[in-house]
C-alpha cells in the first residue's frame, strides 16, 4: 500500500552507500530510479538494478538543470527526490572560507538546486515527496565536526521551510536522520587514518543503545516509507533512524 509502483525517483549521491541502498529498495518497490552522482558509474551499479544514472555535480546549477531535464526525457517527471549527496569536511574553527564554500555549496545549496529543478515537474503531477538526508549530526554538537554538523542542521531547516512552501501543491518534505551507518566510506576513513577497523566499529557501536552501527538497508527502508503513501500525513518532520544514539 505504499503506492510507489511506476513512480520516478531521483536520488542524489546515488552511487554512495546510503543513496544506492535507497535506490535498490525503491526499485524493489516498483519505482523507476535515477541516480545522480558526481562520480562515474564505473562499477555498473545502476544497470545492475535497472536504474538510470547521470553524472552531475549538484552544486552546479547548469549541470543540475541539464540532468533533471535529461532524467525527465528518459523516464518522465519525478515525484520523489532523495537529497542524499554530501561533501564531508570535518573541521572546527580552523575551517577556511574555501572549506565553507565547498561544503555549503554541496550540502545546502546543492539540495536546494535539486528541489528548484524537480519541484516544478512535481507541481504539474499534483504532488510528490522530498526526502532530505540529515544525520544525528544535525541535532548535537560533535568535537571537530562543526563544518559538517552545521550543514546537517541547515538541511533540517530547509525541510521545515519547504514543507510550508510546498504543502499547497501536495508536496511533502521530510528529513531522515541516520545514526552511524556501517558503510564502505567508514571503512575507508578508518584505513586512511590508520585506525583499527574492528576497534572503531566497536567504538561507534557503543554510541548507540542497540550497540551496533546501522545498515544502509535500514535507512533505505525508511526512505521508502517517506517516499510512499504510508507516510501521507507526514510533512516537515525529522525522522530519526539512529539505534537510540540521540535517546541517551
Ligand X SMILES: NC(=O)c1ccc[n+]([C@@H]2O[C@H](COP(=O)([O-])OP(=O)(O)OC[C@H]3O[C@@H](n4cnc5c(N)ncnc54)[C@H](O)[C@@H]3O)[C@@H](O)[C@H]2O)c1
Q: Which lies closer to ligand X via its Cβ, residue 30 or residue 144?
A: 144
Query: What is the Rg, in whole angstroms, of the alpha carbon atoms belonging to the chain?
Result: 17
Q: Which residue is nearest to ligand X (CB)?
A: 16
Neighbours of 196 (CB within 10 A): 11
How far is it, in rounded angstroms, from Cα 221 to Cα 19?
Answer: 12
As measured in angstroms, the least distance from the Cβ of 116 to ligand X is: 15
Neighbours of 215 (CB within 10 A): 14
Respond yes or no: is residue 245 known to be catalytic.
Answer: no
As measured in angstroms, the least distance from the Cβ of 6 to ligand X is: 26
Contact assessment for residue 134 and residue 181, using Cβ atoms and an 8 Å cutoff = no
Q: Which lies closer to ligand X via its Cβ, residue 10 or residue 122?
A: 10
Binding positions for ligand X, rule: CB under 6 A: 12-13, 15-19, 36-39, 56-59, 84-87, 106, 110, 133, 135, 178, 180-181, 183, 185
**Given 20, 148, 180, 245, which residue is catalytic?**
148
Q: Which lies closer to ligand X via its Cβ, residue 27 or residue 125?
A: 27
Q: Which three cell numbers stand for residue 6?
A: 511506476
As measured in angstroms, the least distance from the Cβ of 168 to ligand X is: 28
Q: Which lies closer to ligand X via its Cβ, residue 46 or residue 87?
A: 87
Query: Which residues does 199 contact at the CB level (< 8 Å), separation at least 6?
Result: none
As measured in angstroms, the least distance from the Cβ of 134 to ligand X is: 7
Please list the active-site residues: 148
Amino acid at each position: 500500500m505504499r503506492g510507489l509502483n511506476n513512480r520516478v525517483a531521483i536520488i542524489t549521491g546515488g552511487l554512495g552507500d546510503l543513496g544506492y541502498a535507497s535506490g535498490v529498495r525503491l526499485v524493489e518497490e516498483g519505482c523507476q530510479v535515477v541516480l545522480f552522482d558526481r562520480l562515474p558509474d564505473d562499477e555498473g551499479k545502476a544497470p545492475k538494478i535497472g536504474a538510470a544514472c547521470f553524472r552531475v555535480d549538484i552544486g552546479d546549477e547548469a549541470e543540475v538543470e541539464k540532468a533533471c531535464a535529461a532524467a525527465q526525457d528518459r523516464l518522465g517527471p519525478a515525484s520523489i527526490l532523495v537529497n542524499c549527496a554530501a561533501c564531508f569536511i570535518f573541521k572546527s574553527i580552523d575551517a577556511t572560507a574555501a572549506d565553507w564554500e565547498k561544503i555549503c555549496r554541496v550540502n545546502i545549496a546543492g539540495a536546494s538546486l535539486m528541489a528548484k529543478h524537480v519541484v516544478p515537474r512535481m507541481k504539474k503531477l499534483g504532488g510528490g515527496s522530498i526526502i532530505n538526508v540529515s544525520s544525528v549530526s544535525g541535532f548535537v554538537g560533535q568535537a571537530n565536526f562543526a563544518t559538517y554538523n552545521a550543514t546537517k542542521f541547515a538541511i533540517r531547516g530547509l525541510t521545515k521551510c519547504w514543507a510550508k512552501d510546498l504543502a499547497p501543491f501536495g508536496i511533502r518534505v521530510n528529513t531522515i536522520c541516520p545514526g552511524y551507518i556501517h558503510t564502505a566510506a567508514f571503512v575507508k576513513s578508518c584505513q586512511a587514518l590508520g585506525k583499527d577497523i574492528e576497534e572503531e566499529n566497536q567504538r561507534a557501536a557503543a554510541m548507540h543503545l542497540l550497540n551496533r552501527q546501522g545498515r544502509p538497508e535500514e535507512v533505505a527502508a525508511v526512505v521508502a516509507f517517506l517516499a510512499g503513501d504510508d507516510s501521507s500525513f507526514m510533512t516537515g518532520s525529522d525522522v530519526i533512524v539512529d539505534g537510540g544514539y540521540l535517546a541517551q
